[in-house]
Amino acid sequence: MFVFRSQFFFDQFFDRFVGIAAQIAHCNFGVLAFGANQLGHFAAALFALTALAQTFQVVSGEARYRVREELLQVGLTDAVGTTKAVRGEVRLQDGRVSGEFVVDLRELKSDQARRDNYLRQRTLETDRYPFATFRPKEVRGLPNPLPRQGKVPIQVVGDLTIKETTAEVVWEGEAEFQGDEVRVFLRTEFPFEKFGLAQPRVSVVLSLENRIRLEVELVLRRQ
C-alpha cells in the first residue's frame, strides 16, 4: 500500500540524515560526501513516490435526481428518484485526475411507478440508453498530499453523458477522508435541454421547473 511504502522511505531518509549529522560531528567529510549523495537519491525517490497514482474505487453509492413539480390536487413538491446502481473509480496523480463513473438509469425509482415508467420510456429512453457516465477532468480543493482524516470542500469538473449527449458540468460538495476510505457528497444542476431531454407532459402535472438537480453520495476505497 502507498502509506506503508511512504513510511519505509521516510524511515530510510531519516536514518541517512542522522548518519550524515554524525559524520559532520566527527568531521569525516569523505563519508559525508557519499552520504549526502545517497540522501539526494532517497529524497528524489521519496518525491517520486508521492507523485504515484492513487486509485479510489466505488464500494457503495447512491445517485438521485430532484425536479420541482406542481401536481393536481397536491401542489408544489419535489419529484425524487434514486438508484444504488453506481460503479466506477477515479485516479489521482500529480494534480491530474482521470476515471469514469457509471449510473444504471434503468434502476431509478421514485415514489410513483407511473412517473418511473414515463421517465424510462419517454424522457431517458433507457432501452436505448441505459447508462449515464461521468468522466472527471479536474478536482478543485484537494490538498496534496491527501489527508488521512477530515473533511474538505471540493469541486469536480468533468464530462457527463446522457443519451449520447456529452456536456461539461461542475459538481459542488465535500470529501470526508477516513483512512483508506473517502465519503463524497456532490450536487449539480442543469436545464432539461442541456442533454436534449424532453420535459414530461402529463395531465396531473400542472407545471414543471426546467431544472434537474443531481446528487451523488459515494464511498470510495483506496486500492
90-122: per-residue pLDDT in tens? 999 988 999 999 999 999 999 999 999 999 999
What's the whole-number mean pLDDT along residues 114-131?
96
Residues 116, 84: Cα–Cα separation, whole Å:
15
Average pLDDT over residues 118-136: 97
E-assigned strand segments in the chain? 54-71, 75-83, 86-93, 96-104, 131-140, 149-162, 165-178, 181-190, 205-208, 212-222
**What was the pLDDT predicted at 89?**
98
Identify which of 204, 209, 211, 168 has the alpha carbon closest to the alpha carbon of residue 190.
211
What's the chain's average pLDDT? Answer: 84
The single residue listed with the C-alpha cell 521516510 is: 10
| Nearest CA among 139, 89, 90, 132 for reference residue 107 | 132
Q: Which three cell numbers stand for residue 104?
A: 444504471
pLDDT for residue 85 is more than 80 = yes
Contact assessment for residue 123 and residue 163, using Cβ atoms and an 8 Å cutoff: no
Query: How many other C-beta atoms can be found within 10 angstroms of the C-beta atom of residue 211?
Result: 12
Q: Which residue has the higher pLDDT, 173 or 23?
A: 173
Compute the distance between CA of residue 203 and CA of residue 98 in angstroms, rounded to an integer.
44
Q: Is the pLDDT of residue 175 over 70?
A: yes
The predicted structure's pLDDT at residue 30:
53
Place of cell 420535459: 199
The phi, psi pair for 24, rounded to 5°, reads -60, -45
Lowest mean pLDDT among 38-47, 64-73, 109-118, 159-168: 38-47
pLDDT digits (tens, 9 = 90+) for 141-158: 999 889 999 999 999 999
Question: What distance in Å separates the CA atoms of residue 103 and residue 126, rounded to the nearest whole number?
Answer: 12
Cell numbers for 182, please give them. Answer: 473517502
Q: The domain 54-222 is classified under which CATH number: 2.40.440.10, 2.40.128.110, 2.60.120.380, 2.40.50.140?
A: 2.40.128.110
146 Cβ contact partners less than 8 Å away, ≥ 6 residues apart = 54, 92, 177
Per residue in 40-49, pLDDT (tens digit) is 554 444 444 4
179 SS3 class: coil
Task: State residue 26's pLDDT score.
Answer: 60
Tell me what pLDDT residue 32 has: 42
Confidence of residue 201 (pLDDT cuts 50, 70, 90): confident
Lowest mean pLDDT among 18-22, 79-83, 198-202, 208-212: 18-22
202 compared with 76, residue with greater pLDDT: 76
Mean pLDDT value across residues 49-69 = 87
pTM of the model: 0.76
pLDDT recorded at residue 12 = 53
Dump pLDDT digits (tens) for 10-31.
455 445 544 545 554 565 545 4
User: CB of 136 within 8 A of CB of 97?
Assistant: yes
Helix (H) / strand (E) containing 204: none
